[in-house]
Amino acid sequence: TMNGADGRPFKTRDGGTVKLIDLLTEAKERAYALVKEKNPSLADDELRHIGEVVGIGAVKYADLSKHRTSDYSFNFELMLNFEGNTAPYLLYAYTRVAGVFRKLGKGFDEVDGKIVLQAAHEQDLAARLAQFGEILNNVAEKGTPHVLCSYLYDLAGLFSSFYENCPILAAETPSQQQSRLRLAALTGRTLKQGLELLGLETLERM
């Protein structure tokens, strides 16, 4: 059952059924306002596109991230939060990866070289990336998309720690840079594939 923020069944003010189109419209408008506040210099048409992707993605993700047999509260503030297990957080994590490669002028598939895992943050990220196939099999077998959501949230957090503690473009040696670029590329591809499997569009910046 989908409940309101007060824990009661989600209804309109006059007690009627809430229409999905109305929820999506409000989600897009709220996301547009949030993104505009964060990036006022972006063109309005781009802000509108980002708002649509984030807003619709937030509603979808809020539903899919909960166990299908569990009740949950529909709360715009929580689902549009850029922190926590939300679509905006994951979409932003993906844009951080994309931003690294945009600076290089390269795509995820345009880096090569060996991956050498030295720092603990590199090892933790690589270990979680290696579990993606197993997670997908589990989700497909049991019909539990919330498991994929939890995995992607965990992966995004590990990438954030890796990004902050293991310089990529400012790596100490060319081989170290290539290794870290490959880890970043694998993360980007995994986040994108996972989000698309959940029905969410990704963004290159937001």
Total-model pTM: 0.88
Integer Cα distance of 60 and 24 in angstroms: 9
The reply to whether 205 falls in a domain is: no
Neighbouring CB atoms inside 10 A of 46's CB total 14
Q: Which residue has the tokens 């939300």?
A: 86
The reply to whether 50 falls in a domain is: yes
The CATH number that applies at residue 182 is 1.10.730.10
Integer Cα distance of 158 and 109 in angstroms: 21
> Which amino acid is located at 142 in the chain?
K
User: What does DSSP assign to residue 66?
Assistant: S
Q: What phi and psi values does residue 104 have, to the nearest 5 degrees?
A: -80, -20
pLDDT of residue 81: 95
**Can you list the pairs that 33-40 forms with residues at least 24 positions away whose Cβ atoms lie under 8 Å?**
34/80, 34/82, 34/88, 35/206, 39/206
The reply to whether 76 falls in a domain is: yes
The reply to whether 204 falls in a domain is: no
Q: Tell me if 190 sits within 8 A of 155, measured CB to CB.
A: yes
The arithmetic mean of pLDDT across residues 189-198, rounded, is 98
pLDDT tens column, 116-137: 999 999 999 999 999 999 999 9
- pLDDT, greater one: 205 or 9: 205
Whether residue 148 is predicted with pLDDT greater than 80 in this model: the reply is: yes
pLDDT of residue 75: 87
The reply to whether 133 falls in a domain is: yes
Q: Which residues face 9 on adjacent strands?
A: 3
The reply to whether 92 falls in a domain is: yes
Give the range of the structural domain holding residue 9, as residue numbers without chain letter.
Answer: 2-197
The reply to whether 202 falls in a domain is: no
Whether residue 43 is predicted with pLDDT greater than 70 in this model: the reply is: yes
Domain count, the chain: 1
Secondary element (H or E) of residue 72: strand 72-73
Structure tokens at 18: 């809430």
> Which amino acid is located at 160 in the chain?
S
Whether residue 21 is predicted with pLDDT greater than 80 in this model: the reply is: yes
- pLDDT, greater one: 20 or 77: 77
